């Protein structure tokens, strides 16, 4: 039989550290590769107030360059999404400038398939974008739940994406 992290009584199996070592090595490799993010690094922001206005409540998305939080805007009493630039990019001035420039460019767009941008700022050492909070699931989550899409669904999604891209390019 294979090694187990727990004995028959459910207690940690301290005698066999090989399984634990393998699990932790795999986890570390996935974090290093950018496939997993050590959420604890980002949990520190939960409860934080940015610019005495946006209270970060929970993590709702993690990407390659930023982490997105559900937040409460205390000035307008509404929920928003706040995208915070990862620390490793925050020290790169050119990257920060692009982050702010892209937010300002998208903020000038108004289209049903493009999320609204409300604010872009820096609070202390934290660069962030405040966006419309969209309830529901992401396309990625939809695909993982649904599996293969029908041709009709592909057409609907592709049309929405194409219209948003067309609008963005027309206003470039």
Q: How many CA atoms lie within 13 A of 79 on its CB side?
A: 9
| Two structure tokens written together for 34 | 């950018």
| pLDDT band at 89; cut points 50, 70, 90 | confident
| pLDDT band at 10; cut points 50, 70, 90 | low
25-77 pLDDT, tens digit per residue, is 555 566 566 655 555 566 788 999 999 999 999 999 888 889 999 999 999 99
What pLDDT does 171 receive? 85
The residues, ordered by sequence, that sit 6+ positions from 127 with a Cβ below 8 Å of its Cβ are 84, 85, 90, 96, 99, 100, 121
113-154 pLDDT, tens digit per residue, is 999 999 999 998 899 999 999 988 888 888 889 888 999 999
Contact between 132 and 118 under an 8 Å Cβ cutoff? The reply is yes
| pLDDT band at 159; cut points 50, 70, 90 | very high
| Two structure tokens written together for 65 | 């360059």
What pLDDT does 121 receive? 93
- How far apart are the C-alpha atoms of 14 and 4, rounded to whole Å? 10
- How far apart are the C-alpha atoms of 69 and 26, rounded to whole Å? 27
What pLDDT does 29 receive? 60
What pLDDT does 20 receive? 47
What pLDDT does 1 receive? 44
């Amino acid at each position: 039989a294979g090694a187990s992290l727990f004995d028959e009584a459910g207690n940690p199996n301290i005698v066999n550290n090989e399984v634990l070592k393998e699990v932790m090595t795999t986890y570390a490799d996935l974090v290093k590769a950018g496939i997993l993010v050590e959420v604890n690094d980002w949990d520190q922001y939960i409860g934080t107030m940015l610019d005495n206005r946006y209270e970060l409540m929970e993590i709702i998305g993690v990407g390659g360059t930023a982490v997105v939080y559900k937040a409460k805007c205390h000035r307008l009493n509404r929920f928003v999404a706040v995208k915070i630039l990862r620390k490793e990019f925050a020290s790169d001035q050119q990257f920060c400038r692009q982050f702010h420039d892209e937010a300002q460019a998208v903020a000038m767009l108004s289209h049903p398939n493009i999320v609204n941008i409300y604010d872009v700022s820096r609070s202390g050492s934290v660069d962030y974008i405040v966006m419309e909070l969209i309830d529901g699931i992401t396309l990625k989550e939809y695909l993982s739940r649904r599996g293969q899409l029908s041709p009709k669904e592909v057409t609907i999604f592709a049309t929405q994406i194409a219209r948003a891209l067309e609008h963005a390019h027309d206003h470039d």
